[in-house]
Structures are given as C-alpha cells and as structure tokens.
Amino acid sequence: MEALHTLPAVARDGPSAIRDGLEFCHTIFRIERELRDLTPAARQAARQTRSRPVLARFARWLRTQKRVTLPQSP
C-alpha cells in the first residue's frame, strides 16, 4: 500500500484498524485510477458497480469501529 509508506511508524505499525481503514481508501483510489480514461458517463456507471460496494463495506466497518473505539481515541 503506497499510503502506508508515508505514515509515521506508529500509524504504519500500530493498530490494525488504521491499516484496515487505509486499505479501503487505497481500494477506492485504485479504482479511480483505473477509471481515469473513461468518459464521465462510463466512469459513473463503473463507480456504481465497483466503488459503491467498497464504500458500503467501508461504511459498515466504520460503524463497527465506532462501537469498539473509545471516545477519546485519536
């Protein structure tokens, strides 16, 4: 994951929640790079089929994290 290389070691080597959240972002950015050369209409259609399910899983994951993360956690 490219994003992990730019993070401080504490984030890179820390709790798996950080890595898991970045993996969702990385997946979305990868999809966007792959769709870059499509027409706007084709990009929108591809986002519905490829990005939307990833974003739905990310939203579920975030809700789970909210339940298990302490309120004062960074």
pLDDT at 27: 96
pLDDT at 3: 52
Number of residues written out for the chain:
74
Residue at 42: amino acid letter: A
H-helix or E-strand containing 46? helix 40-46
Collect the ranges in the chain with pLDDT lower than 70: 1-15, 73-74
Q: The whole model's pTM is what?
A: 0.72
pLDDT at 28: 96
Q: Where are the domains of the chain?
A: 2-68
